[in-house]
């Protein structure tokens, strides 16, 4: 049993559309709030594949948005459109756009940190990789990182926060096809994500040379000292 189950049960007792809790109140309910929750929007991502603890509010039928200025979290009841979006389905109203923007905001810091780290340490993916560009726009979309291997071949690198989905395989196929058609050379591709469900692995086998790499996130702490 997760300590976040206590939050689920608490929220289920509330009928109001929005439940506002201070970080201290939330800490009292779950028995301890991580320091990262008080600092980083990514901790509050409304997606179980990104953060397992988000089931604490999602299982209660709510999404959350933090306010670091007031040190509070607002847990809002999900509408039908919200539930569709979280299931990966298309919604029917502009509310979908609002929720998507909220979700992107809570995840973008992690994606940017991941991209920044990989650009500075491409050799962690493959020895000899050299950066050609980042956020490279082509007719088929925008490539997160474009690199060149030690052998001189182009390497397309796509990053995904959380588990990879079918759309990621489609993106890579478009990028490879575009380069093959416009330049006559087929690039290799690397897909980096937090995990790869079995159906995604099946699809990846259809793209020759596609490499799947999982990233791991951890926090390191050091004494800042007082002078």
DSSP calls for 48-92: TTT-GGGHHHHTTTEEEEEETTTTEEEEEE--HHHHHHHTTPPPS
Does 203 have pLDDT greater than 90?
yes
191's CB contacts (< 8 A; 6+ apart) are 158, 160, 164, 168, 169, 172, 204, 210, 211, 212, 213
Mean pLDDT throughout 166-182? 94
Q: Indicate the domain borders of the chain.
A: 5-111, 121-214
Does 22 have pLDDT greater than 80?
yes
Tokens standing for residue 115? 């991209």
Q: What is the pLDDT of residues 58-106, one digit of tens each?
A: 999 888 989 888 999 999 887 655 555 555 554 455 555 455 545 444 4
Tokens standing for residue 226? 């007082």
Lowest mean pLDDT among 107-111, 182-186, 213-217: 107-111
Of the chain, the percentage scoring pLDDT greater than 90 comes to 45
Could you confirm whether domain 121-214 is CATH 3.30.70.20?
Answer: no
What span, in angstroms and rounded, lies between the C-alpha atoms of 195 and 186? 26
Tokens standing for residue 125? 């993916």
Length of the chain equals 227
């Amino acid at each position: 049993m997760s300590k976040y189950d206590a939050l689920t049960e608490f929220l289920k007792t509330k009928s109001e559309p929005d439940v506002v809790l201070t970080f201290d109140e939330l800490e009292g309910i779950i028995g301890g709030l991580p320091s990262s929750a008080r600092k980083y929007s990514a901790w509050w991502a409304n997606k179980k594949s990104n953060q397992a603890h988000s089931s604490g509010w999602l299982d209660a039928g709510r999404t959350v948005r933090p306010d670091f200025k007031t040190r509070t979290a607002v847990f809002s009841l999900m509408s039908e459109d919200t539930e569709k979006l979280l299931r990966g389905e298309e919604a029917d109203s502009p509310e979908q756009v609002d929720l998507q923007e909220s979700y992107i905001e809570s995840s973008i810091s992690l994606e940017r940190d991941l991209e920044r780290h990989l650009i500075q340490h491409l050799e962690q993916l493959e020895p000899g990789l050299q950066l050609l560009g980042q956020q490279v726009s082509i007719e088929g979309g925008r490539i997160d990182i474009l690199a060149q291997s030690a052998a001189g071949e182009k390497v397309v690198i796509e990053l995904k926060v959380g588990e990879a989905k079918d759309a990621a395989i489609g993106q890579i196929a478009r990028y490879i096809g575009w380069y093959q058609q416009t330049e006559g050379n087929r690039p290799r591709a690397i897909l980096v994500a937090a995990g790869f469900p079995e159906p995604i692995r099946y699809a990846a086998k259809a793209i020759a040379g596609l490499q799947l790499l999982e990233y791991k996130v951890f926090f390191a702490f050091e004494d800042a000292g007082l002078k």
